Structure 1
Amino acid sequence: MISRIRPIATKVLVEEDSLSVLLKRGGSLHLPLRLFPRLLTASPEQRSDVRISASGAGLHWDQLDENLSVTELMQEAERRHRDERLSSQVPADFPWDPTPALLSGSQPKLAGRWLDGRFVVGLTAEERWVRWDMCEDLAQQLVPKTLKDAAKYPEHSHDVTLRRIRRAIANKRWTERVETDWLMQRLRALLGW
């Protein structure tokens, strides 16, 4: 959650791969330098020539013509922290982009969206978490349904039963194909089949 108190910078440290800002009321912000192309390509001397505004709300590199808002840095740090927390909850094998965009034409293209001041291709960490949570919940709900189907048709193998469940899911169109693949693997694991 973004603090209602405006963050005030007291010290700035630009290292080879990170930007750190110490804050007046405690705490600090740490962001990868790759987010700031001018700072990333600058010399160590240019990076260290930073001036904190009188209010502590802005950072200025006069040699590089770079100005950063401490509030915006805090928002970016909080977004990155949230994304890392959400990403850590999603299994590594869950698909990142279940619906890749296709654009017509002879030249390769990226289909992206402008979200929160940044260009995003594919799912955001939050969108991926929501898709995974839905698939995990569906897998949990399908366990008793699959067991019921297996009991109703004891002549069917586990694979046949899972194929029947997969067809039912595909007909509902709740998930994309790659998500359905993951869902069926998860259901198989939950059942111990």
Structure 2
Amino acid sequence: MISRIRPVAIAVTVTEDSLNVVLKDGGTLRLPLRLFPKLWVGTPEQRCNFRISASGTALRWDQLAEVISVSELMRDAERRHRDERLSSQVPADFPWDPTPALLSGTQPKLALRSIDGRFVVGLTAEERWVRWDMCEDLAQQLVAKTRQDAAKHPQHSHEVTLNRMQRAIEGKKWTARVETDWLMERLRSLLGW
């Protein structure tokens, strides 16, 4: 959670690839320099020519016409930490973008959204985690249902039983096609089939 106390910078270092801000409370923010286009393209001398505002709440690079809020840096660092934590819980094989945008016309287009001042293509880490959690929960619930169906129809092979489950899921339209494919593989794994 974001602290109600405004973070105050007491020292800053800029390396070739990162912006490092030491906070008054003892914390340090380390962010990739590529997130700051003006600093990224600036010379090493321009990057080192900055000042911390008297209140410690803003960083200023006058030569590069760049002002960065320490509070925004803190929010960005917290968002990145949350996204990394959520992403680490989702299996690598779970789809990133189950519903790619379809844009008509002859010119190439890039479909994106603006979320918290950032442009996002596809799902955010949080949206992907929610989709995975739903698919994982559904797969867990379907284990018993699939076993019941297999016991009710012993003449069916495991593959036929799984196909019956897949058709039922597709009929409900709970998941996108790539998510259904992942869910069926997960179900197969949980069943040991």
TM-score tier after normalising by the smaller chain length: over 0.9
Alignment of structure 1 residues 118-137 onto 2, 5 Å: 118-137=118-137
**By how many angstroms is 1:30 displaced?**
1.1
Letter in 2 for 1:101: A
The alignment partner of 2:141 has SS state of helix
Partner residue in 2 for 1:186:
186
Q: What SS does the aligned partner of 2:63 have?
A: helix
- Give the equivalent residue in structure 2 for 1:147: 147
Aligned to 1:50: 50
Structure 2 residue 22 is matched with structure 1 residue 38: no
Report the Cα distance in structure 2 between the residues aligned to 1:158 and 1:33, rounded to whole angstroms: 52
Residue of structure 2 in register with 1:110 after alignment? 110
Partner of 1:12: helix, strand, or coil? strand
Deviation by residue 1:61-112 (Cα, 9 ceiling, x = unmatched): 0111100000000000000000000000000000000000000100111111
The alpha-carbon deviation at position 26 of structure 1 amounts to 1.1
> Matches of 2:175 and 2:168 in 1, distance apart?
11
3-state DSSP of counterpart to 1:64:
coil
Task: Map Cα deviations across residues 131-159 of structure 1 (whole Å, 9 max, x no partner).
Answer: 00000000000000000000011111111
Q: Distance in 1 between matches of 2:14 and 2:163?
A: 55
Equivalent-residue separation in structure 1 for 2:21 and 2:51 (angstroms): 12
**1:121 CA drift (Å):** 1.0
Separation in 2, partners of 1:13, 1:144: 57
How far off is 1:122 after superposition? 0.6
Q: Distance in 1 between matches of 2:20 and 2:152?
A: 62
Paired residue total: 193
TM-score scaled by length of structure 2: 0.99
Structure 2 CA distance for aligned equivalents of residues 13 and 94 of structure 1: 38
Secondary structure of 1:109's match?
Answer: coil
State the one-letter code of the partner of 1:140. Answer: Q
Q: How does 1:65-104 map to 2 (within 5 A)?
A: 65-104=65-104
Q: Does 1:2 align with 2:2?
A: yes
In the alignment, what sits opposite 1:19? 19
Q: Which amino acid aligns with 2:63?
A: Q
- CA deviation map 1:48-72 (0-9, x unaligned): 1110000000000011110000000
| Equivalent position SS for 1:22 | strand
Percent identity between the aligned chains? Answer: 76
Secondary structure of 1:63 counterpart: coil
Amino acid at match of 2:12: V
Quick check: 36-45 or 169-178, which moved more? Answer: 36-45
What amino acid is aligned across from residue 131 of structure 1 in structure 2? R
Corresponding residue of 1:162:
162
Q: Which consecutive residues of structure 2, in runs of 5 or more, have no partner in the other structure?
A: none
